[in-house]
Structure 1
Amino acid sequence: MDIAHLGHVELLTPKLEESLRFFVDVMGMTEAGRQGDSVFLRGWDDYERYSLQLTASHTSGMGHAAFRTRSAQALERRIAALRAAGTEVVPHEKNFGHGTGWRFRDPDGHVFEIYWETEWYDAPQELRPALKNQAQRFPARGVSVRRLDHFNCLAVDVGACRAFFEATLGLRLTERIVLDTGEEVGMWLTATNKSYDFAFTKEAHGVGGRFHHVTFALDSREAILQAADVFLENGVFIETGPHKHAVQQTFFLYVWEPGGNRVEVANAGARLVLAPDWKPITWTEAERRKGQAWGLKTIESFHTHGTPPLPGESA
């Protein structure tokens, strides 16, 4: 349990200003600062300086995902575990909002970072909340997402990635999908008592390092239904939902931001895993063919669209 929680996700976008307007005006996030080609954003109850890094790029996708450790000693232990597994770990200095980050790649090529030293958010006077145990005043703008919840990467070998994170970061498996062939095509891992902090699902085209979606938490199902209206009013493409997932029982709504990345709003933190001896749930191929818990059939693009675009595919 050396990993404390998901800290932030970096999204690459070929349309920085349009993506920025989406996350500020539609998602209701607050700009926390800028550095180089990146803009840093936060949900109103993220306790760290930021939770989303938007970086101008020639393409879309995930730049990196970062986890905070529970202590400086925990950081040292995880670095040692990664190196013992033969993983190259390199320091990344001069980070916005936190100390030295130690970066590495998973077996599929995604970039991850772990860090300890961080900057707690200190709201300016105009954003100070009435309740001192809340990080920031409720923005009452657009969707007004509360916090970063999780993300989902695509992977050519899901099982190999799951084993890697279990062995090196000590993360726990809560649910997974296994086909009749024995291949693992979906896995959900947690560092906390949330049922998952991130997921990996099968990349259908054999291309490593691709990204499926990032998710921000809202407080209720009703807030997600209201978010659908906000997206509609702002001309945002709603890919699918609101529905309820069978896996993890997340109530969800997916949209695409202007840069092409998939974004989810969900009441994702509703289920907790409190048992220290939790037994992972395995879903079979036949069970998953039934689709979501309820709602419309899963749209085809949910299984085919990822970022960055495939070679020869339009952004």
Structure 2
Amino acid sequence: MSDLAHIHHVEVLTPTPQASLDFYVDVLGMEVEHRDGPSVYLRSWGEYQRYSLKLTESRTSGLGHMAIRAWSAEALERRVAAIETSGLGIGWHDGDHGHGKAYTFTDPDGHAMELIWEADRYVAPEHLRPALRNVPMRNTGRGAAVKRLDHVNLLAADVAACRRFATDVLGFRHYEGIQLDNGDETGAWLSLSIAAHELIYVHDARGAHGRLHHVAFWVDTREECLRAADLFLDYGVHIEAAPSKHAVAGGFFLYGFEPGGNRMEVTTGGHFLYDPEQQPLMWTEAERAKGQAWGVRTVESFHVYGTPPAVEADRAYALAAGVAAPAPTTRTEKR
């Protein structure tokens, strides 16, 4: 068993704070759990922790940070020692809403991350109290009514370096990946559990660092995913990729953009991997050229667009999608 349990929350940056908040509340159906200055903390109805999304006003879009919870205080200390040995550690801070002290660091590509152990459990107020004791909050049925944070997909200039850091230092398992004919590793699907993925790295075609590809939220059924697509349509949300099935990991998906320009996924399905000897399944360049599981071609923007924008073409694509289009970042070097 790994020292780390799961991704506890993710901070997403937005230049359109109210419009982005409306998306998460009205379209995805999340609940506002807390507000603090430029940040709003949101939760899905099936999560034990107080929140899984921290939405923060910013001049641009992208990832603020990703937080991972350890199994124990001792496990946290072990992983901190490993990170410090890697040279990517930054240091401790006193914590944030809903969790205690946190150790901050970056991955090899410059994505901001932190490890925590002490975390508050959610206690539903009377109007959100569920009928069953083993459910943390009642399902309000608002919007897509997403159940939980599922995974985070990060862009990286060097996927192999990030994958090695995730497995060798953090303790993720490497379940699937993509390797081109020239030997380059362009995708890595990683997990701390039997779920097919919790953290994904894919190659950043722009050569930038520290960018976000997408954040994914889970629903229980394919029908709910299809319903989310209808909601996206009714609310004017740009649908980048209509519902279909991934070849890698086998999940059912819907991709769209929230008003701040960040790509969001509604997902369900996928593999559970129980085999303790499971070896990474590496997809070839020819196999991935076939598209998704049912032969649907992967849209070109999926290979190049991320947040914050890295080049003017990213900004132009965001403008065409009707979402915020801040000037391209100058962050082309690791932080």
TM range (shorter): over 0.9
Aligned residue in 2 for 1:165:
166
Displacement, 1:92? 2.2
Aligned residue in 1 for 2:328:
none
Aligned residue in 1 for 2:297:
297
Q: Distance in 1 between matches of 2:141 and 2:130?
A: 13
Aligned residue in 1 for 2:321:
none
Q: Distance in 1 between matches of 2:203 and 2:162?
A: 11
Aligned residue in 2 for 1:255:
256
Aligned residue in 2 for 1:273:
273
Aligned residue in 1 for 2:285:
285
Displacement, 1:88? 2.1
Q: Distance in 1 between matches of 2:94 and 2:257?
A: 32
Question: Which amino acid in the other structure matches residue 261 of structure 1?
Answer: N
Q: CA RMSD in A?
A: 1.0
Q: Distance in 2 between matches of 1:140 and 1:64?
A: 29
Question: Which amino acid in the other structure matches residue 163 of structure 1?
Answer: R
Residues 116-156 of structure 1, C-alpha deviation per residue, up to 9 Å, x if partnerless?
00000000000000011001000110100000000100000
Secondary structure of the corresponding residue to residue 249 of structure 2: helix
Does structure 1 residue 5 correspond to structure 2 residue 6? Answer: yes
Displacement, 1:271? 1.7
Aligned residues of 1:177 and 1:284 also touching (Cα < 8 A) = yes
Kindly report which structure 2 residues correspond to 1:158-197, keeping only aligned pairs within 5 A, or say none.
Answer: 158-197=159-198
Q: Distance in 1 between matches of 2:69 and 2:37?
A: 23
Kindly report which structure 2 residues correspond to 1:77-156, keeping only aligned pairs within 5 A, or say none.
Answer: 77-156=78-157
Displacement, 1:95? 0.4
Worse overlay, 271-280 or 139-148: 271-280
Aligned residues of 2:94 and 2:101 also touching (Cα < 8 A) = yes
Residues 198-241 of structure 1, C-alpha deviation per residue, up to 9 Å, x if partnerless?
10000001111111000000001111011111111111111112
Displacement, 1:34? 1.1
Q: Distance in 2 between matches of 1:85 and 1:255?
A: 36
Displacement, 1:94? 3.8
Residues 172-212 of structure 1, C-alpha deviation per residue, up to 9 Å, x if partnerless?
10000000010000001110111111100000011111110
Structure 1 segments of 4 or more deviating over 6 A?
none
Q: Distance in 1 between matches of 2:169 and 2:279?
A: 20
Aligned residues of 2:188 and 2:202 also touching (Cα < 8 A) = yes
Q: Distance in 1 between matches of 2:184 and 2:18?
A: 41
Residues 5-52 of structure 1, C-alpha deviation per residue, up to 9 Å, x if partnerless?
111110000000000000001100000001221100000011100000
Q: Distance in 2 between matches of 1:170 and 1:108?
A: 18
Aligned residue in 2 for 1:53:
54
Q: Distance in 2 between matches of 1:298 and 1:255?
A: 14
Question: Which amino acid in the other structure matches residue 100 of structure 2?
Answer: G
Secondary structure of the corresponding residue to residue 152 of structure 1: strand
Report the TM-score, using the length of structure 1 for normalisation: 0.98
Secondary structure of the corresponding residue to residue 58 of structure 1: coil
Secondary structure of the corresponding residue to residue 89 of structure 1: strand
Aligned residues of 1:243 and 1:295 also touching (Cα < 8 A) = no
Aligned residue in 2 for 1:14:
15
Aligned residues of 2:12 and 2:63 also touching (Cα < 8 A) = yes
Aligned residue in 1 for 2:199:
198
Q: Distance in 1 between matches of 2:284 and 2:271?
A: 21
The share of aligned pairs that are identical, in percent, is: 52
Aligned residues of 1:188 and 1:198 also touching (Cα < 8 A) = yes
Secondary structure of the corresponding residue to residue 202 of structure 2: strand
Question: Which amino acid in the other structure matches residue 305 of structure 1?
Answer: Y
Displacement, 1:310? 1.4
